[in-house]
Structure 1
Amino acid sequence: MLDGVLGLPLHPLVVHAVVVLLPLVAVGVIALTVRPAWRPRLALPLLGLLAVAAVSAIVAMLSGRSLAERVGTPVQHEQLGTLLAVTAVAYLLLAGYWLWWVRRAEKEPTTPQNATGWVASIASVAVVALTIAVGHSGSSAVWAHWMVEAPATDPTPAASPSAVSSASSPASTPPSTTTPAPSAAPTSTVASLYSADMLADHATAEDCWAVIDGNMYDLTDWIALHPGGASRIEALCGTDATAAFTGQHDGQPNPAEALSRHLLGPVG
């Protein structure tokens, strides 16, 4: 149900409301705790924004689960997103109650009001920190595999001096007409570079190779970047991971694109 809107995934759209409104309300709560004179003017607007932020956090959680069914589940981001949704509701109950309580102008705020405000301010700091963590994990899930530095390619080697001189000087002798001796048929070096027997020597997190669909991949750098957590890749080191990859990401373009960046070659 909470899948898309106007042909776009709903999750990244509603997430922006969460990452903007929750920190904004948190800063506002802290400001009203320090400056009681602002409470009559700002308490109700902040309460309204907090209600929108809490609802947005719930929608983001649900739409994120729908999106994960299509593109794969980033485990860490999903866990943090669920925690943020629960925290946003709890924050609405605490800070929202306080904002409603102090919405009216009073000559002198009461001690319970001030004490509750400081508790809400401490909760505000935690909410901001959690929102940042959720946003970072989500960004990593989307962009991490694009930020992997592509291996440098060797430039085209310059022609050797002897080749240059021979090419620029006039031919003094006709080319040799001697027929070269037949050589053995060329063999495919690519197919023989990697074999399943090599997996035993690359089965650790520091040197992690795996076979998927008949190709060898070096997943060492991907361990720290995998959205689902390092343990998911570490379990594949030194194995034929075809069944594991297909079962988790079959038909999903983004995981396949990320995997292709770590291709070593076919297994012969």
Structure 2
Amino acid sequence: MIEIAGLPAHILLIHAVVVLAPIAGLAAVVYAAVPRWRPYLAWPLGVLSLFLVPLSLLTAEAGEQLEETRPASALIREHAEQGDVLKAVSVAFFVVVAASLVTSHEPIGRRFAFLGSLRTHRAVRTALLVLAAAAGAYFIYQSVITGHSGAASVWAG
């Protein structure tokens, strides 16, 4: 089992996911909704969404190892299922955010000039911004649901 200072790593790592995932989701919604803030949010949003992928995967792996040491219960199984969904959502969120940044933030987009008119097409940019906002909202939702099921598995009866 992965441990940090003698404690199961899942217990410590989950706090970073529970805090950073909603912040990233909110940043994606604001990035899509407020054009004048895009230059300020682009790099932090991109880096945060990228950082959350390995963090979510590592946290889930530590959780699976912790699960093996505990007696099985319906609440723990539900939390593990929600964690699996959160892993997939974190990867999908990163992909959508990256695509949105490539099409809507010129300094980042210049590095992808090979995409040509696809990168600068207004309908594509708008669709990706709407998709990024929706992915951000769903990332917030899924992190809250996963965190709640984890807390319930620990503190319920």
State the TM-score, normalizing by the size of structure 1.
0.50
CA deviation vs aligned residue, 1:162-215 (integer Å, no higher than 9, x gap) = xxxxxxxxxxxxxxxxxxxxxxxxxxxxxxxxxxxxxxxxxxxxxxxxxxxxxx
Larger Rg: 1
Counterpart of 1:28 in structure 2 is 27
The match for 1:51 is 50
Deviations 1:110-152 (A, max 9, x none): 332122101111122111111111001000111112xxxxxxx
SS in 2 for 1:58: helix
Is the contact made by 2:99 and 2:128 (CA closer than 8 Å) also made in structure 1?
A: no
Answer yes or no: is the 8 Å Cα contact 1:32–1:38 preserved in 2: yes
TM-score by length of 2: 0.83
Residue 118 of structure 1: which of 124, 130, 152 is its match?
130
RMSD: 2.0
**Structure 1 counterpart of 2:63, which letter?**
G
**Any residues of structure 2 matched to 1:138-177 within 5 Å, and which?**
138-145=150-157
Question: Aligned match of 2:96 in 71, 94, 97?
Answer: 94
Corresponding position of 1:38: 37
Q: Are the counterparts in 1 of residues 22 and 143 from structure 2 also a CA contact under 8 Å? A: yes
Query: Equivalent residue for 2:117?
Result: none
Unmatched 5+ stretches in structure 2: 110-119
- Inter-partner Cα distance in structure 1 for 2:125 and 2:71: 46
Give the match's secondary structure for 2:156: helix
Long gaps (5+) in structure 1:
146-268
Query: Within 5 Å, which residues of 2 pair with 1:74-223?
Result: 74-104=76-106, 110-145=122-157
Deviation at 1:109, TM superposition (A): 8.9
TM-fit CA distance, 1:12: 1.2
User: For 1:85 and 1:126, how far apart are their aligned partners in 2?
Assistant: 13
Structure number with higher helix proportion: 2
- Name the structure, 1 or 2, with higher relative contact order (CA <8 Å, separation 6+): 2
Query: Helix, strand or coil: the match of 2:106?
Result: coil
How far did residue 35 of structure 1 move? 1.3
* Residues in 2 aligned to 1:89 and 1:72: alpha-carbon distance in whole angstroms: 30
- Whole-angstrom CA distance in 1 between matches of 2:153 and 2:27: 30
Q: Deviations over 1:29-69 (max 9, x none)?
A: 11111111221221111111111112111111100011111
Q: Is the 8 A contact 1:44 1:100 kept in 2?
A: no
CA distance 1:19–1:91, shift in 2 (3 Å): same
Matched residues, number = 143
CA contact (8 A) 2:53 2:91 kept: yes
**Between structures 1 and 2, the one with greater strand share:** 1
Residue 19 in structure 1 maps to residue 18 in structure 2: yes
Percent identity reads: 28
